[in-house]
Amino acid sequence: MTARHVLITGGAGFIGSNLADAFLARDWRVSVIDNFVTGERANVDARVELIEGDLRDAKTLDVIDRLKPDVISHQAAQVDVRISVADPAADAETNILASIRLLQKAKEAGVSRFVFASSGGAIYGEPVIAPQPESHPAMPLSPYGCAKLTVEHYMHYFREVQRLNTIALRYANVYGPRQSAKGEAGVVAIFANRLLHGEEVTINGSGEQTRDFVYVGDVVAANVAVAENAALEGPFNVGTGVEITINELSSRMAAIVGVSSEAQHGPGKAGEQMRSVLDARKLRELAKLGEPVAIDDGLRKTIDWFRLHTR
């Protein structure tokens, strides 16, 4: 029997490389496209076919004609909300236009399932009800959120008119091993890196803003479930349903590291909402997934990884 084949965009990055490892463990053939803006070659298993390229380049997309994967898992993105606020057009080139071209190529290549890494936190905006279910009004407060929602609309068109089997997973705030501490995205990674180096943590704004932090292993499990069961129809939230303030996150991480550092506060950032928490029970029930990793357990695993990999 021929192994099923998944192509992961952004597969050298944080979520994508963890996902690649999971598919390899399930005996899938795995290919990866990454431009290495944030991805790391060290994250990519030697058994993976690695293509270095940018999805904005037509030559990169032409590789799909050769690969003809069964599933495309589209994890690649410009993920920093603040960069999207500073340059919405550049964000759209990466997060909207490249995604549309990828959808078109998937249709042409006969891909049987297209999985998209969307964002529950960014597309819903401030909660009308909490936790926010998939039916929550979409009121994004950043160009990043607008881009994710736009791609979901294009996926609806490709699904209903072009008959491409598409599904969106709306992530909460993902954290865990291999997350980059560079730049502004990934607050858990940034805090872990600074605390382990004995450096001061800076929180943007009051720190009373809340987030739903979901461990990368739970995000990987959700992706594998929808890749292996093409009958599941989304969109689906992927989160924990539990919110925590950034102040509390900082305190818990300092306690795990074993330091008594007091966080400092900087100015708030445009496009950053105050509250985000996702109701993710729907996919867990349909796909029979386990309960999400508790925040303290996930933080310990993440900090242990950073201890081993931080110089």
Q: Which residues are catalytic?
A: 144
Query: From CA 72, how far away is CA 13, in angstroms rounded?
Result: 16
Asked whether the beta carbons of 169 and 236 are under 8 A apart, the reply is yes
For the chain, the first-to-last Cα distance in angstroms comes to 44
CB 71 within 8 A of CB 113: yes
